[in-house]
Structure 1
C-alpha cells in the first residue's frame, strides 16, 4: 500500500509545477541519496570512453565522463524507478520517456524533467542543445537534491537511458542505492552518540 501512495505522490509532485510552499517544505524535510552500485554503458557508435564512478567516502555524489564521437541529431530519454517489495524483488513504480530536443527547444518542462536537467548540468560542460555536437563532456560531483517531500526512506533501482528512437540506445545508466531522510538520519546519529 505504501508503494502505491509513494507512486501517486511522486508522480503528482513531478507533473506539477513547483510551488513556493513545496520548495520551503523540501528545505525543512530534506533527503539524500547514498549510491551503492552504478553502471554506465555507452554505444561506441556514438560515445567513447564512457565512465561513471561513485565518489567516496559518503557515496552521495558521482562523476561522469564521455566523448560524443559523432553529432547526435535527435535524442530521447527514459527514466524508470523501481522499489523492492517485501521479498526483495524490484517492482517498477515510475517510468517517463521524453523527447530531449523538444524539451530544450520549447523550454517548457515538467518538474521531473527540470530536475534531471539541473542535476546533470551542475558542475558540467555538457552542451544542452540539439543536435548534440561532437566533443568530450563531463559532469562532476553530481548529487541528487530537491526531491519531493513525500518520499520515504527506501532502497531503489533507477535506469536512465538516452536513445535515438528506432535506431539505437546511446547510453544506459543503472544506479542502485538508498534514499535517506536527513531528519531521521540525524536522530539516529544522536541516539548512538
Structure 2
C-alpha cells in the first residue's frame, strides 16, 4: 500500500510533454484559403495556424475526438468525444476549468475573436502549446486528435493531429 502511494505521488509530480508528429488541416474552399498548419518548436511541441476566412461565421458547431494507444502497434481507442457550440464556449467560458485553460492556451497568441460572428479575414494562432495545461492524469501514450468545425451544417475546417505524451 505504501509503495502504491509513493508511485502515485511520483506520478502526479511528473511533468508531461507533447511532441507532435503530424498536423493536417483542410478548409472548405468556399470558407477560406491560404491555410497554413505547421508543427514547430525545438521538440515539435507547438502548433501554428493561419487561415484567410472568405466569409463571416455566425455559428460554429465543434466536434472533438481524442483517441489514445499505449503501444505503437496497437489500434487507437476513443478516449474523449464531444460536440459543442463553439460560439457559446468562446463567449461564456467558465474560468478555471480544464477546458478554459486549454482554450486560453490556444488563443493566447492569436487574433481569435472572443465572440461570434467571426469576421472574414486573416485568423492566426501562433505557438500553441498545450503542455502547461495538460492534466497530470494523462498517461504516456500516443494521441490521435480529430477536430471538426461546422457552420450552417457544413464542414468548414477539419484538423487532425498525431503525437505523443511522455515524461519530461
Q: TM-score, normalised by structure 1?
A: 0.73
Q: Give the superposed CA RMSD.
A: 2.3
Change (3 A) 1:26 1:71: farther
Q: Where does structure 2 lack aligned partners over 5 or more consecutive residues?
A: 1-9
Count of aligned positions: 157
Structure 2 counterpart SS, 1:89 = coil
The structure that is strand-richer by fraction is: 2
Q: SS at the partner of 2:44? A: coil
- Distance in 1 (alpha carbons) for counterparts of 2:30 and 2:37: 19
- Closer, same or farther: CA 122–106 of 1 in aligned 2, 3 Å: closer
Instruction: Confirm whether residue 60 of structure 1 aligns to residue 27 of structure 2.
Output: no
For 1:16-52, what per-residue CA distance to the aligned partner results, in whole angstroms no more than 9, with x for missing partners? xxxxxxxxx9994321100001101111111211110
Q: Distance in 1 between matches of 2:93 and 2:69?
A: 35
Equivalent of 2:16 in 20, 31, 53 = 31
Equivalent of residue 120 in structure 2, options 134, 141, 148: 134
For 1:92-107, what aligned pairs fall within 5 Å after superposition?
Answer: 92-107=78-93
Higher mean Cα deviation, 55-64 or 107-116?
107-116
Deviation of 1:66 (Å):
0.3
Does 1:74 find its partner at 2:56? Answer: no
1:159 maps to 2:149: no
Q: How high is the TM-score relative to the length of structure 2?
A: 0.83
SS state at 2:133 partner: coil
Aligned equivalents of 1:115 and 1:26: distance in 2?
21
Detail structure 1 runs of 4+ shifted over 4 Å in the superposition: 25-28
